[in-house]
Chain A
Amino acid sequence: MKTLIIEMIEPKRLGELVTVSREFCEKPDIVAVGSGQIPGSFAKAYQVEDTVASNLISDLASLILKEGYEIILLSASTLGSGIAAPLSIKLSAPVVSEVIGIKPELVVERPLYGGKAVATYKLKKMPAVLTIRRKYFEAADLQGFTESKLLGSDGKKVELITEREEKAEGIPLEDAEVIVSGGRGIGGAENFPILQTLADLFNGAVGASRGAVDEGWAKPTQQVGQTGKIVAPGVYFAVGISGASQHLAGIANAKCVVAINKDEEANIFKRARFGVVSDYKKIVPVLIETLKEEG
């Protein structure tokens, strides 16, 4: 099937979509969004520098119709969610968002009810637009680079004025092998540094639940969950996090979850590999001390 990837030039995101594309074709085409070289080997590559989704939809639709693409793959990201739905209307194409599984014969899976259920759909018409949830597919190793053709963009509807990257201190959340996340149970912004200290000792990163972000204790870019970042670390410390399904949807592929919570009934213990029923203010400092002593 003729497959088109539309994605920012970012090796991990591209790699995941390349993995997904192998379910549909040998070698996909790509519209690479942003500037820079396109890593990986694609049959045909187009590039567009404008990174604002709403400015791209008309041109993408024209290209897809002209070239006869059958499967359109995007990440479930700011860019992907900005493109997928309007594009599907332009193309009269079916769209399934936040796909977490792909089966033969155009059958795809996605979560419902905050991850408490999984729905299976069969696409009955092409082209079809899919957005893929991050971290559910291994990122393919991208070798070499592909030369691209510039894709025109006529008329900006939305102007990008400024863009500010929230620089994570140390290792980015998505790449961390150990994540220490805090929730409402942390009690205040002033208590987050202790989580950072613990994360640093593991060369890890600090995440947060939606509750902690809503309280203003952590940055939105630190939010882990269905509507935040999807992460897949080796160890995920959930500290003062009750474990709502929306949060668990962000850590479905974490290998080991360690839950630290005062409430032994908290839902997080149902997902955890190890549980400590305790005030985090008691156990976390001791964990830090022990790790320091071990050097």
Chain B
Amino acid sequence: MHIVVLAKVVPDYEVPASDFELADSRAHKRYKRMMGLYDENAIESGVQLKEKYSSTLTIVSYGNKDDIPVLRKAVAMGCDKLLLVTGSSDDASVIAANLKMALDSLGDVDLVLAGQQSADMDRGLVHGMLAEKLGFVFIPQIAGIEYLDGQWKVTQNTETGIRELECREKAVLSITSVPENVPRIPAVRSIFAAKKKAVDILPAIEDKAMPVDEVSVEIPKMESVCEFLPAEDDIAETAKILLRRLREERYI
């Protein structure tokens, strides 16, 4: 069994809004680069499947060579191989086409995992587009995966609860975060071993971008001015003031 996990390196997603700035409509280059948060959940899910079914696990990414050191974290977590397509498009369809090319080059992929959405573009589109281009089934928001009797049995977290689904075909699954797939912290020895691992690099292919123009990107202002209630000595008084203020302004 050959499992591929898609991973994307993004600017630090924990930078608070107050420190966030743009340059050329994208996050300023000064922020630290890191693996997307749901991508790490997907890697962890992939490593768990590898351990359970002795599968081969390949990380595939589309992006910049400078991000290879960040991608190596996936190897340290337990992935076998890294494959990077070098390119710089943000167009979901272009990224999906390049990932398809990379997967085609691997030849024998049975299952593709991806984070529910990237930690920079927030759109959750690339994996579904890739699935359609590959002719695979796409199932979003997956919290658990098993392989039984020749089919994938997956658990999907929906807005209202949990679904169990079965699928006999090759699939692209987007992974959501649950306590069971909180990413492991690799051992120091694995981190060093991962540094020596070879990375396969493919040049990007040309593909048509979606017929959508990005007109602008702006940082919205946070307009709220917080009224701090005194909370040092008399907490009972604080509670009363809070309730009174909420009523005065007709929130409750």
Contact for B246 among A258, A269, A282, CB less than 8 A: A258
Q: How many residue pairs between the two chains, A and B, have CB atoms under 8 Å in the bound complex?
A: 265
A37 to B13, CA, bound (A): 43
Question: A227 near B: Cβ within 8 Å?
Answer: yes
Question: B107 near A: Cβ within 8 Å?
Answer: no
Stretch of A23-31, A63-71, A122-130 with 4 or more beta carbons under 8 angstroms from chain B: A122-130
Task: Evaluate whether A85 and B129 lie within 8 angstroms (CB atoms) in the complex, with A235-B252, A274-B226, A276-B238 already known.
Answer: yes
Question: A143 near B: Cβ within 8 Å?
Answer: no
Q: Could you say which residues of chain A place their CB within 8 Å of the CB of B123?
A: 96-98, 110
Q: Could you say which residues of chain A place their CB within 8 Å of the CB of B231?
A: 276-278, 282-283
Q: How many residues of A contact B (CB 8 A)?
A: 90
B positions within 8 Å CB-CB of A? 11, 13-18, 20, 22, 25, 27, 38, 92-93, 96, 116-117, 119-129, 131-133, 137-141, 143, 153, 156-169, 174, 176-179, 182, 210-220, 222, 224, 226-229, 231, 235-236, 238-240, 242-243, 245-246, 249, 251-252
A174 to B100, CA, bound (A): 38
Which A141-161 residues have a C-beta within 8 angstroms of B?
157-161
- A117 x B251 contact (CB < 8 A): no
Contact for A85 among B27, B128, B178, CB less than 8 A: B128
- B177 x A273 contact (CB < 8 A): no
A290 to B228, CA, bound (A): 20
SS class, residues of chain A in contact with chain B: mixed
A116 to B15, CA, bound (A): 9
Q: Could you say which residues of chain A place their CB within 8 Å of the CB of B243?
A: 287, 290-291, 294
- B139 x A159 contact (CB < 8 A): no
C-beta contact mask, A260-278 vs B, less than 8 Å → 1, else 0? 0000000101111111111
- A78 x B140 contact (CB < 8 A): yes
Contact for A271 among B121, B216, B218, B224, CB less than 8 A: B224
- A114 x B211 contact (CB < 8 A): no
A95 to B125, CA, bound (A): 8
CB distance from A100 to the nearest CB of B (A): 10
- A90 x B132 contact (CB < 8 A): yes
Give 24 A-B contacts (CB < 8 Å), ordered by A residue: A57-B132, A78-B157, A81-B141, A85-B92, A85-B131, A86-B131, A88-B93, A116-B15, A120-B217, A121-B215, A159-B166, A161-B165, A210-B177, A214-B177, A227-B176, A234-B252, A245-B20, A256-B246, A272-B226, A273-B226, A274-B226, A274-B227, A287-B239, A290-B243
Contact for B129 among A89, A124, A221, A243, CB less than 8 A: A89
CB distance from B235 to the nearest CB of A (A): 5
Q: Could you say which residues of chain B place their CB within 8 Å of the CB of A276?
A: 228-229, 231, 238, 242
